[in-house]
Amino acid sequence: MNKIATFLNARISGLVTDKPEILAAYSRDASILEIMPKILAIPASTEDVQYLVRFVNELAKKGYQLPITVRGSGLDTSGADLSDQLVLSTERLNQIQEIDDRERLVRVQAGVTLGQLNSALSLFGLTLPIEADPKETLGGLVSNFYTDKIAKKYGSIYYYVERIEAVLADGELFQSQALTSRGLKQAQKRADLQGQIYSRIHQITQQKSAQIEDLRSNAHHHSGFRMITEVSSQKSLFDLTPLFFGAQGSLGVITELILRVVAIPRPTKKALFTFSQAKPAIQFMSELEKLRPKRIDFYDTRVFQALTLPKKESTFLDQIRGQFLVFAEIDHGFFTNKASRKTLQQLAKHATATLFDQPDNLAQFSQLAKKLDFYRNDPDYPERVIIADQSYLPKTELVSFLNSLTTLEQIFGQPLPLFGSFTTNLYSVRPTFDLSTVTDRKQLLRFMQQYGKLIHDSSGTIAAGSAEGRVQAIVFNQTLPTQIRALFYEIKTTFDPNHIFNPKIKQNASLADLARFMRTSPQIGLIRQD
């Protein structure tokens, strides 16, 4: 063990190691990258995190860089949780500290998983209504600004976070709060980094109002530090909490969260509709949305071709082959009303098939959808890669975008079936590239550039359902005006003057690093917490 790892391991209650066999498991996530860390730290307490941050910050002051990259579940598709320096895993910060069922508030450590929390909340008839892999950590959902397919109905993770506790770059503990003008003045008088942050971020909100308004007009991307738009409210309150959404560990290490939760929603009714062409499917979804469903999902069913079901259940795949599929969840009461049901059937008059009460088909569809949404690197399709997950596309551009995708299919000689959420306007593709070949890796970089341009030309943004990390940043940064990039850099350096937090992501991500660290095999090494 090297000297730094040995030194740290003796001074925190958690684990610090540089053993290659352990580091290897943290070298991959759900992205196309593979980066072996130099050191792994698994703190067991907030105090451990503080010690690690102070140590790294003191090293930086002396000219030695050992930046910290925070890792949660290892399910990130953007590569933001990978580093060749120090990786800090939150897996042992996994305690549910408090559940207040009367006020519907919970206090949790950042490494608590969504599944862990909702399992505990179910005893009280409560839930955090976020549809994500149950193994996603709550700190990770905030850091990535995760938006799911039911966000239109229930809101994204942003709407449920009341407060954040984080360790700042000087090792001090920051507890976010909404400050009045008087409270802000008091915070600015602090003689530490926190006081500097409050002073400078307040100045930025005053002096950079034009850039902030520009960001506010494009509310669809979750990248950079766009949430500077929400720091200063119309209620004369000042709150730094929003800046941690989408920051991906680049402003500090989130250690604890206070979340608002809700009663478990009433059951919904599920239905599937198939269409032979995309345009009538889109027209149907537009009308269906007026019924305020929980969700409407759209699939070019070619995306299912590489997936498998048990042979005895393969009839569903045969049924939908070559079709466009619409999946909807609507309030259960709607279906009990004969008139409403008739209305729905009338809306779906151009559908080739309408599957309401077919539990087998719905169950099989659910299996396939999970493989796409939550278990992204499934052995059933090892060559499919994720480079642009949940890009924003306006509804008005969807038909023309699908036509443009046909051109890309011809250029790259492979199908590019689109799938995603019509209600949130977030869509993905799963291109097939063999990462073991140099030719395909080069082709993948070309594809990223062209796909990103197509998204941008369609008035969309490539990083919308989550932040940009390393992978999407390469394309996203090309669309950012120089003044906005400068604003983001100023926010970053205000919080992190010595650049000790994840310096290789977001605006500092590079194409050279992307090419250098692209993995060469389809195997993944996710750390899954049971």
Q: Regarding predicted confidence, which is higher, 355 or 458?
A: 458
Of the residues 229, 263, 297, the one at which a domain ends: 263
Residue 121 maps to a domain: yes
Q: What is the pLDDT of residues 319-342, one digit of tens each?
A: 888 899 999 988 776 655 666 677
pLDDT, residue 313, reads: 63
- Judgement on whether residues 390 and 402 belong to the same structural domain of the protein: yes
For residue 462, is it within any domain? no
Q: Do residues 222 and 292 share a domain?
A: no
Q: CA-CA distance, 412 to 406, in Å (whole number)?
A: 10
Residue 422 in domain: yes
> Can you give the pLDDT at residue 92?
98
Q: Do 117 and 216 belong together in one domain?
A: yes
- Whether 482 is covered by a domain: the verdict is no
Mean pLDDT score, 421-444: 90
Per DSSP bridges, beta strands 15-17 and 391-392 are: unpaired
Same domain for 372 and 283, yes or no, is: yes
The pLDDT of residue 344 is above 80? no
* pLDDT score of 458: 94
Specify the amino acid at residue 350. Answer: H
Q: 349 and 496 share a domain? A: no
Six-digit token string for 20: 């290659």
pLDDT beyond 70 at 522: no
- Signed CA dihedral, 332, 335, 336, 340: sign only: positive
- Same domain for 145 and 233, yes or no, is yes
> Are 165 and 84 found together in one domain?
no
pLDDT in tens, 271-320: 899 999 999 999 999 988 988 888 999 999 998 876 766 666 667 777 88
Q: Check pLDDT > 50 for residue 528.
A: no
Please report whether residue 512 resides in a domain: yes
Are 411 and 511 within one domain?
A: no
Instruction: Kindly state whether residues 277 and 240 are assigned to the same domain.
Output: no
Assess if residue 477 is contained within a domain.
no
φ, ψ of residue 65 to 5 degrees: the values are -95, 120
One domain for residues 136 and 165:
yes
Domain extent at residue 189:
96-263
**Do residue 141 and residue 181 come from a single domain?**
yes
Range in 20-24, 509-513, 519-523 with the lowest mean pLDDT: 519-523
Query: Beta-carbon neighbour count of residue 83 at 10 Å?
Result: 29
| Residues contacting 523, CB < 8 A, separation 6+ | 28, 382
State the CATH number of the domain containing residue 201.
3.30.465.10
Q: Burial letters for 36-63: b for 16+ Cβ neighbours within 10 Å, e otherwise? A: ebebbbbbebbebbbbbbebbbebbeee
Number of domain units in the chain? 3
272 closest CA partner among 353, 199, 364: 353
Same domain, 69 and 49: yes
CATH number at residue 386: 3.40.462.10
pLDDT in tens, 136-183: 999 999 999 999 888 888 999 999 999 999 999 999 999 999 999 999
Whether the per-residue pLDDT at 387 is higher than 50: the answer is yes
Between 49 and 29, name the one with better pLDDT: 49
Give the domain-ending residue among 263, 288, 316.
263
457, 478, 498 - which closes a domain: 457
Domain of 503: which CATH number?
Answer: 3.30.43.10
**Within a domain: residue 493?**
yes
Task: Establish if 479 belongs to a structural domain.
Answer: no
